[in-house]
Amino acid sequence: MTTPEQPDTLLEFPCQYPVKVMGESHADFSDLVVKIIRRHADDVSDNAVRTRQSSGGKYSSVTVTITATSKAQLDAIYQDLTAEPRVKYAL
C-alpha cells in the first residue's frame, strides 16, 4: 500500500530505462527479446539494442533501452519476458 508521500516507484515517467535480459545463446535471441519488448514499447530503435556474449559463449545478454511511460508498462514487459522459456533472467 502506498500513500501520497510514498510512491510505489522511485522512477519519474517518462524516462530512459534499460531492460537487461539474459538467456542461452541462439542466433535469434536478440530478435526474440526485442519482439517481446516491442509489444509494450513500439519506439525501440536498432541502436537502442546492445548484445553481449558470455566469455564461454553459452549465454547472451541483451540490453534494450526504452522510453518507459509507466510502472504498469515495465511490469507488463517483465511478465512477458519471464514467461518466455528461453529467457533465464530479466533485470
Kindly state whether residue 5 falls inside one of the protein's structural domains: no
Kindly state whether residue 8 falls inside one of the protein's structural domains: no
Kindly state whether residue 7 falls inside one of the protein's structural domains: no
| pLDDT at position 4 | 56
CATH number at residue 79: 3.30.70.260
Kindly state whether residue 52 falls inside one of the protein's structural domains: yes
Task: Tell me how many domains the chain contains.
Answer: 1
Domain extent at residue 37: 15-90
Query: 44 with 37: CB under 8 angstroms?
Result: yes
pLDDT along the chain (91 residues), means of 10: 64 96 96 97 92 96 97 98 97 94
CA torsion angle 43 45 47 51 (round to 10): 90
Q: What is the pTM of this model?
A: 0.89
